[in-house]
Structure formats: C-alpha cells, structure tokens
C-alpha cells in the first residue's frame, strides 16, 4: 500500500466522485476504480456502499478514511521535518508576520538576533494572517507572527508582545487638545477601521461592544499604514496598536489621547508566535524562538 493510494481514497471519499478524484490526482477514472478494488481486495471488505443511489462509505470505509487522513497528516509532518533537517545547514530561518508586527514589534528582536547570530539568514515576509497559517501548516515557513492567535490542533502558540490599543486622531482634530476622551464619544465620529474579519478589527469591536458603543466606519483598510495616512489628513479617528504610530507621535503628525473609562488601560492586542507542532528544530531556530519569547 502506497501513500498515493491513501490520498486517492481520501479524495474519493471527500469529493464523492470517481471522475473528480481522478481529475484531482491527474489519473484516469479507471485507475481510481482499480485502486479502490485493490484496497477492498487487500482488506477483504467493501469500502464503498454500492447499494445506495448516492455515494457513501461503508463503516469499514469510514474507519479507513479516518485512519488514512491521520496517516497522511503524519507523513506530511515527516516530510516537512525531513526537508527542514536537510536544509538546516544553510542557517536560514523563514519567518512570516502580519505587516504591523513585522514592521514594528519584530524589528528590535531581529536586530538582537543578528547581533548574536550573524551567520544566520532571516528571511522575513509580510503576509495576511490566513496565508501565514496556511504556509505554516504546509511547512513553507518556520515561524509565524500574528495578532490574536487562534487555536489549531496542529499549531503551537507562544505569547509575543501585548500591544496597547489607543485612540488616534489628527493634531487638527477637535479632540487633539483633550487630556482624555470617553469611549462613548467615538460613536459620533467618522471612524477609520481595520478591514472586516481581521483579528485586530475583531479585538477592537469586542472592546467597543463591552461599552455598548457602535461606531460606523467611513473607511476600512487592511493596511495600518493607509489608516495612519487617512487619519493624518483629519478624515476620521481610529484605534490602532500604539507600537505602529511611534514615529508619527514623535513627528507630531498624529495624536493619541487616553480613554478615561474604567479598565480601558487594559485594552491591548495580544500577539503570538506560532510554529507547527512536532516539527524538527535546529539550534538556530530554537534560539530565535527563545529570544522572541523573552
């Protein structure tokens, strides 16, 4: 029995079509039927229920499907770890981060690591969080850095930095001279928001919901740099991670004002380091993760 046979059977079970399973694996429909017949002969039991009009698995077929999925996942982990070990001599660590973390929170750690390990090449990409999770699970990157990390049975999460989320406006805005603002006042202001379904947007929405505040975004962007530029021209106010606006605060192009509402000082965006579980790690990768965790 080969890994290819397991993959073809799983595709057949999921697609419920011999022709579509054949197309996905770039083989003939007859070859799929032959693979199935060989499996049933090996186990001496039917795996497909041929008495039903619609496609279905027998109880043995269901058991074999679940076992095959587990075996394919384990084999993929093995291949990923083996490839990593083969390439580890190159002293390269592949990192993917969402833009706001990669450009700001991560930079000081990168400088420290390079100073200690100048022989190691850090390959850093800026991607959206969905692509980071996807590449990590496929073994295409070593480390991911995301906001509000989500749980996944195949991913291990470590806390990175906890970033304060702050109210931001233009120096020309009417709030700019206030020493503090009430969160309820935001619902009357044009609001520049992060794109829907982004983890940071969800975090901010949860904070506002806690105070029963509903803002109406006049613009939504996936890039924190664009949000900053729009707020700078006084087109609206926003809430952003404080780490991303340090240069603008120094240059005086943006203004941040604290909320005076109870517990608002604890309004933060938790970021996380994600790695694939049970993957092989060389000393360089271990050292990099340890540095990030500090």
Question: What are the pLDDT digits (tens) for 149-168?
Answer: 998 999 999 999 999 999 99
Report d(CA 42, CA 116) in Å as an integer. Answer: 56
Measured over the CA atoms of residue 116, residue 121, residue 126 and residue 128, the dihedral's sign is negative
Q: C-alpha distances in angstroms, 220 versus 197, 231, 253, 272?
A: 11, 12, 20, 24
Query: What value does the mean pLDDT of the chain take?
Result: 91
Tens-digit pLDDT profile for residues 226-253: 999 999 999 999 999 999 999 999 999 9
Nearest to 155 by CA among 164, 166, 146: 146
- Residues facing residue 238 across a β-bridge: 168
pLDDT-based confidence at 84, cuts 50/70/90? low
Question: How many C-beta atoms lie closer than 10 Å to residue 235's C-beta?
Answer: 14
pLDDT-based confidence at 87, cuts 50/70/90? low
Domain 3-86 sits in CATH 3.40.50.1010: no
Range list of β-strands (E), 35-115: 92-97
For the chain, the structural domain boundaries read 3-86, 92-160+271-293, 162-269
Tens-digit pLDDT profile for residues 162-193: 999 999 999 999 999 999 999 999 998 999 99
Mean pLDDT for the stretch of residues 257-280? 88
Domain 92-160+271-293 matches domain 162-269 at the CATH topology level: yes
- 3-state secondary structure (DSSP) of residue 291: helix
Class of domain 162-269: alpha beta
Token readout for 201 is: 């947007």
Report d(CA 126, CA 141) in Å as an integer. Answer: 12
Task: CATH number for 92-160+271-293: choose from 1.10.1750.10, 2.30.40.10, 3.40.190.10, 3.40.50.740.
Answer: 3.40.190.10
């Amino acid at each position: 029995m080969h890994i290819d046979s397991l993959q073809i059977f799983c595709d057949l079970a999921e697609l419920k079509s011999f022709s579509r399973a054949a197309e996905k694996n770039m083989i003939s429909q007859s070859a799929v039927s032959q693979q199935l017949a060989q499996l049933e002969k090996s186990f001496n039991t039917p795996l497909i229920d041929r008495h039903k009009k619609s496609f279905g698995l027998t109880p043995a077929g269901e058991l074999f499907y679940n076992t095959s999925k587990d075996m394919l996942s384990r084999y993929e982990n093995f291949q990923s770890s083996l490839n990593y070990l083969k390439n580890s001599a190159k002293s390269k660590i592949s990192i993917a981060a969402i833009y706001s973390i990669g450009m700001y929170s991560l930079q000081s750690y990168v400088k420290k690591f390079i100073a200690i390990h100048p022989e190691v090449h850090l390959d850093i990409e800026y991607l959206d969080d969905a692509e980071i999770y996807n590449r990590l699970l496929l073994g295409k990157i070593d480390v991911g850095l995301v906001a509000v990390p989500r749980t996944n049975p195949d991913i291990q999460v470590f806390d990175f930095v906890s970033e304060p989320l702050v109210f931001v406006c233009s120096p020309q805005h009417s709030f700019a001279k206030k020493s503090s603002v009430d969160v309820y006042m935001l619902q009357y202001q044009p609001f520049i928001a992060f794109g829907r379904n982004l983890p940071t947007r969800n975090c901010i929405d949860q904070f506002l919901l806690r105070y029963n505040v509903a803002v109406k975004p006049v613009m939504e962007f996936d890039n924190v740099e664009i949000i900053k530029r729009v707020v700078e021209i006084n087109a609206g106010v926003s809430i952003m991670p404080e780490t991303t606006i340090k240069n603008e605060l120094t240059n005086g192009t943006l203004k941040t004002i604290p909320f005076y509402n109870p517990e608002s000082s604890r309004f933060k965006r938790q970021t996380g380091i994600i790695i694939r579980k049970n993957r092989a790690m060389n000393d360089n990768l271990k050292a990099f993760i340890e540095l990030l965790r500090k």
